[in-house]
């Protein structure tokens, strides 16, 4: 077995299916992973001994966003503007690339209802474990979908805004990736279907499609309707025809 579990938690049986999928993935890929039960949920150990394990402290993250937004207007946030947040209007958002829920939980903190999609078994396992350990009231507006973007876009799930953050590299990306991105790039690889997902997203009929990119990176083959550019991040926005 190439998956090692440390300190198996009391409620870990609730993740039996996800654990089975994760174990199968490790066996098929010949990947060695170590997960540990810490503070009521599972964490993934880094590939380097001196680095902290990877996990999602959902309640803590949402509270951090809430504290920040008490001091700064949500309408000044670049992501909120890209999503279409105006006045009291909060779009329903379909996040096609949930990852470690960084953007999903920020959008949830804005007051949006969020559907987050993730296809990779390692990341899905961490998300499900974190959700079972979370109690924040805003999670009533959060929905997690264990699937891939193209499958979900083929279904009848409606959303005002589609959000897409592909793991898609180009020659202009020169900064060293942070720990989580370094590890997941090795496990997940690049989103080779990024162009196809964007095309399908644009055909879905949402009011807008938002693609998150590094500031200096290339566009995904289609010129956006408008761009919101920050210091390190850019949001390419495509309006529905």
Q: Is 209 in contact with 198 (CB distance < 8 Å)?
A: yes
Whether 172 and 216 have beta carbons less than 8 Å apart is answered as yes
What is the structure's pLDDT at 47? 72
Task: Decide: 56 and 126 in contact? Cβ < 8 Å.
Answer: yes
Q: Give the residue among 95, 98, 96 at the shortest CA–CA distance from 124.
A: 98
Provide block-wise average pLDDT over 10 residues at a time, the chain (241 residues).
68 74 84 88 84 93 97 95 97 96 97 95 93 97 95 90 82 54 63 85 93 91 93 93 61
* Structure confidence at residue 171 (pLDDT): 45
Kindly report, residue by residue over 51-64, the tens digit of the pLDDT: 888 999 999 999 99
CA–CA separation, 81 and 64 (whole Å): 20
In order, the DSSP letters of 62-85 are HHHHHHHHTTS-GGG-HHHHHHT-
pTM across the whole model? 0.89
> What Å distances lie between residue 30 and 10, 26, 82, 187, CA to CA?
28, 6, 40, 11
**CATH 3.40.50.150 for domain 56-239:** yes
What pLDDT was estimated at residue 164?
96
Model confidence pLDDT, tens digit, residues 150-205? 999 998 788 999 999 987 665 445 555 565 666 666 666 565 788 899 999 999 88
């Amino acid at each position: 077995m190439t998956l090692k579990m440390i300190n198996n938690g009391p409620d870990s049986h609730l993740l039996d299916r996800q654990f089975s999928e994760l174990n199968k993935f490790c066996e098929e890929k010949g990947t060695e992973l170590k997960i540990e039960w810490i503070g009521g949920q599972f964490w993934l150990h880094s590939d380097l001994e001196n680095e902290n394990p990877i996990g999602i402290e959902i309640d803590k993250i949402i509270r951090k966003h809430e504290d920040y937004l008490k001091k700064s207007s949500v309408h000044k946030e670049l992501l909120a503007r890209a999503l279409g947040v105006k006045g009291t209007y909060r779009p329903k958002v379909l996040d096609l690339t949930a990852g470690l829920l960084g953007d999903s939980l920020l959008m949830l903190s804005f007051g949006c209802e969020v559907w987050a999609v993730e296809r990779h078994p390692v990341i899905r396992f961490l998300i499900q474990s974190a959700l079972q350990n979370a109690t924040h009231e805003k999670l009533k507006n959060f929905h997690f979908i264990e699937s891939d973007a193209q499958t979900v876009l083929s279904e009848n799930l409606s959303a005002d805004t589609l959000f897409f953050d592909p793991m898609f590299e180009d020659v202009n990306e020169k900064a060293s990736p942070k720990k989580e991105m370094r590890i997941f790039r090795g496990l997940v690889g690049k989103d080779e279907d990024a162009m196809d997902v964007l095309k399908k997203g644009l055909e879905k009929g949402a009011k807008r499609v938002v693609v998150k990119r590094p500031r200096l990176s290339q566009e995904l083959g289609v010129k956006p309707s408008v761009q919101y550019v920050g210091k390190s991040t850019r949001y390419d926005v495509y309006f529905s025809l």
